[in-house]
Amino acid sequence: MTIRAANNRTSGVRTFYIASESRPGVQYVAQFIRRARQRRWFCDCPDFKFRRLAQRRHCKHLHEMTAMAREAHGVARLARSISANVAA
Ligand SMILES: [Zn+2]
């Protein structure tokens, strides 16, 4: 999965761009929203919208993002490590 971290940093929001594997040229926007009382991931792929309505589960992009965030010990650290990889 090809993932880029957005450069602009809105407070409480981390944005990532994920290239679609099934649809060349298409990229999805995954966002981690941190507010006072909630921390949630969103993805703008069709699967996420469908799943959210049907059973409130994550799409494959967010499964990957949450696994990577766990490995990186946090979303902010993950964003920094992705940015560093892109810059290198
Ligand atoms: Zn998705």
- 30-53, pLDDT tens digit by residue? 999 998 888 889 999 998 987 776
Q: What CA–CA distances, in Å, run from 61 to 2, 16, 26?
A: 10, 10, 13
Q: Could you read off the pLDDT of 66-85 as tens digits, one per residue?
A: 999 999 999 999 999 887 76
Q: Band of the pLDDT at 88, cuts 50, 70, 90?
A: very low
The pTM (predicted TM-score) of the whole model is: 0.80
Which positions ≥6 away from 33 have C-beta within 8 Å? 12, 13, 39, 40, 41, 42
Q: How far is the CA of 85 from the centre of ligand 1 (A)?
A: 22
**Structurally, how many domains does the chain consist of?**
1
Which range of residues forms the domain containing residue 70?
Answer: 3-87
Q: How far is the CA of 21 from the centre of ligand 1 (A)?
A: 11
Any idea what DSSP says for residue 11? T
Q: What is the predicted pLDDT for the residue at 38?
A: 86
Q: How far is the CA of 46 from the centre of ligand 1 (A)?
A: 7
